[in-house]
Structure 1
Amino acid sequence: GFILVYFDHTIINNFFINVIKNVGGNTGDMGNAVFLAAMLELPTMALFEKYKNKINIKNTIIISAIFFTLKHTLTYFATNMVMIYLAQATQMLAYALFIPASVYYVDKLFDAKDAVKGQALVTTSMTVSGVLASFLGGILLDSMGVYETLFLGLVLSAVGTIVMIVTVENVNKKGA
C-alpha cells in the first residue's frame, strides 16, 4: 500500500518544477513551497517522540496515508500557488508523521531480533517506489502531461491508502 502512496509523492517531489510551472509558478515559488513543507515537518517529527506512547500507532499510520492522498488530491486540483502551498502544508501530517510512525510501528510489530528486517522493508518500499516513480514519472510527464500524470498518481495513492487502511495492524496491543 505504501509503495502506491509514495509513488505519487515521489513523482510530485522529483518533478515539482513541472507541477509549479503548470499552475503559473516559477523556481522561486517552488523554493517557497519546498521550504514551507520542510518547516512544517519539523514540529510533527519533534513532537512525535513525546507523544508516541499516547497515540494509537495504527491510526497514526492510516492518518498519514490519508494526508498523503489529500496532498496528492490538492496538488492535482491546484490552479495557483496558494493551492500548492495548501497542499504542501499537509506534509506535516503526511510524510512528517509517517517517517517516525513507521519506525515505531515496525519496532512494535516485529520481534527485537527482526527489527532490522522490518526497517529494511520500510526502506525498501520507499526505494522501490522512488525508483519506479523516478523512471516512470518522466516518461509519463513527457507522454501524457502534468495533469494526467498527477491524476494517475492520485488514483494509485488512493488505492494505496485503501490497502493501508485494510492491512495495517494494531500494534498497540503487542507489547505496549
Structure 2
Amino acid sequence: MFLFHTIVNTYLVQIIHSLGGNDSDFGLSLMITALSELPAMLGFSYLLTKRKSGIWLKVAAIFFVIRSILFLLSGSVFMINLTQLFQGLAFALYIPASTYYVNQLMQKTDYVKGQAFNIGAVTLGSVAGSFIGGWLLDNAGVPEMLSAGIAASFIGCLLLFYSVKTDI
C-alpha cells in the first residue's frame, strides 16, 4: 500500500502536469490532502471507541485501493483533488491504527521493536514506490505508473486482510 502512497506523493506534480495542471494546482492538491488527514488523525481515539484498531486497518486498506483506482480514472485536476479527499480514509486512518494495533499485539516490553518493524515495512514500501514509480514514469508514463500503484495497493490490501486480526 505504501508503494502506491509513495508513487502518488512523490510524483504528484507529474500526475498534475500530465492532466494539464500547473504548480498552483499541485499546491492546492497537496493542501487538500493535508487537510483531509486532520479529522481521522485528530479523531482516532473516538474511532477506537466504535471499533478496534484491526478493523480500522482494514478500512484504511480498502480506501488505499479505492484511492489508487480513482487516481488512474481521474481525467482532470479537479478529479485528482476530489480523489485526494480519500487520503483521510486511507493514510490518515492507517497511521494511528497501525500504531495502536502494534501496541495491542505486542507485549509492553516489545512496543519499540513492534513499532520499528511497522516503520521498517512502511519504509520498504516507500523506497520501492520511489524506485518503481520513477522507473515507470521515465520508461512508460503516468497511467502505467498509476496502474502499478493499483496492483501494489490491491496486493497490500490482500496481505493486510490475511494477516490482521480484527479483535485487536
TM-score, normalised with respect to structure 2: 0.95
2:50 maps to 54
Give the aligned partner of residue 148 of structure 1: 144
1:161 maps onto 2:143 in alignment: no
- Of the candidates 71, 78, 81, which is equivalent to residue 75 of structure 1? 71
Structure 2: tracts of 5 or more residues without a match: none
Match of 2:101 in 1: 105
**Equivalent position amino acid for 1:128 in 2:** L
What's the % identity of the aligned pairs? 37
Question: Quick one: distance in 1 between partners of 2:82 and 2:2?
Answer: 19
Q: Which amino acid aligns with 2:120?
A: T
Post-superposition CA distance 1:71-103 (Å, at most 9, x none): 111111110012101110001111111111111
**Does residue 127 of structure 2 align to residue 131 of structure 1?**
yes
Moved more, 11-20 or 53-62: 53-62
Counterpart in 2 of 1:94? 90
SS of the residue corresponding to residue 30 of structure 2 reads helix
Structural RMSD (CA): 1.2
1:32-47 alignment, distance < 5 Å: 32-47=28-43
Letter in 2 for 1:123: I
- State the secondary structure of the residue aligned to 2:50: coil
Q: Distance in 1 between matches of 2:49 and 2:114?
A: 20
Question: For residue 98 of structure 1, what is the amino acid of its counterpart?
Answer: Y
1:121 CA drift (Å): 0.9
TM-aligned CA deviation for residue 171 of structure 1: 4.0
SS in 2 for 1:25: coil
Distance in 2 (CA, whole Å) between partners of 1:100 and 1:14 is 22
**Aligned counterpart for 1:118 among listed residues 110, 114, 125:** 114
Helix, strand or coil at the partner of 1:52: helix
Asked if 1:24 corresponds to 2:24, the answer is no
1:126 partner amino acid: V
SS of the residue corresponding to residue 42 of structure 2 reads helix
Which stretches in structure 1 are left out of the alignment for 5+ residues? none
Q: How far apart in 1 are the matches of 2:62 and 2:82?
A: 15
Asked whether the equivalents of residues 108 and 171 of structure 1 are also in contact (C-alpha less than 8 Å), the reply is no
